[in-house]
Amino acid sequence: MDMNLLHDITFYVMYAAMAIAIFITIERGIYFAYVRRQARALTAVLDANVHSERDLPQGLTQRDSLPLSMVLPVLAQKASHGSRKDLDDVIETQYLTTRAPLARSLWIIETITTAAPLLGLLGTILGIIDTFKALASAGVSDPGQISGGIGTALFATGLGIAIALFCVVFHNFFQDSLERINDQLKILLIRAATGARVQSEVPHLVPTPLHSRTA
């Protein structure tokens, strides 16, 4: 078994993991910023007079967004004047459906956080094994080559730790942003339901007794 090849493959895997982590970090950062901006804009215009998509500013409905897709079913239920339970069910359903799109790909960053130091350690072990094999076959003819091999092996551990630190920082940042966005979307759903005229709140006309009319 070629330990040098396995050592190189370990480096390639770590570089690929770093590239994936950077791509997900950029993609999630842009997506989270867009969701928060759309949620703030919708929260500012939602009031008791908004009952459908037509009542919203055109600039907020031209592009699809997660906050808009959450609000529209609530507005439709609000306009139907159904029961309070039906409205609460729609709000709860829309809130729960937001977790999957927001948390998408974050598990990959968490996995890289755990796997990167282990890959670095594996690369170090393979590098040291390859160095010892060179020592066994050629002896200590050039100490510089041996120290260079050990240095390359230890670089794998350093690279794995650096990747893990990068992923830990942004994973924690995204988890905090996720909680803030969830709170913001919850407020948005409550604002969307403002002014709903549900069945339990519709006043019933009580007929006037006949004797009171003739009195």
Domains in the chain: boundaries: 3-200
pLDDT surpassing 50 at residue 60: yes
More confident residue, 46 or 169: 169
More confident residue, 124 or 208: 124
pLDDT, residue 24, reads 96
Q: How many CB atoms lie within 10 A of CB 56?
A: 18
More confident residue, 148 or 172: 172
pLDDT surpassing 70 at residue 3: no
More confident residue, 20 or 11: 20
Mean pLDDT of 26-38: 94
Whole-angstrom distance, CA of residue 90 vs CA of residue 78: 10
Three-class HEC string of the chain: CCHHHHHHHHHHHHHHHHHHHHHHHHHHHHHHHHHHHHHHHHHHHCCCCCCCHHHCCHHHHCCCCHHHHHHHHHHHHHHCCCCHHHHHHHHHHHHHCCHHHHHCCHHHHHHHHHHHHHHHHHHHHHHHHHHHHHHHHHCCCCHHHHHHHHHHHHHHHHHHHHHHHHHHHHHHHHHHHHHHHHHHHHHHHHHHCCCCCCHHHCCCCCCCCHHHHHC
Mean pLDDT of 8-33: 93
pLDDT surpassing 80 at residue 183: yes
pLDDT surpassing 90 at residue 191: no
pLDDT, residue 147, reads 66
More confident residue, 150 or 64: 64
Confidence band, pLDDT 50/70/90 cuts, at residue 202? very low
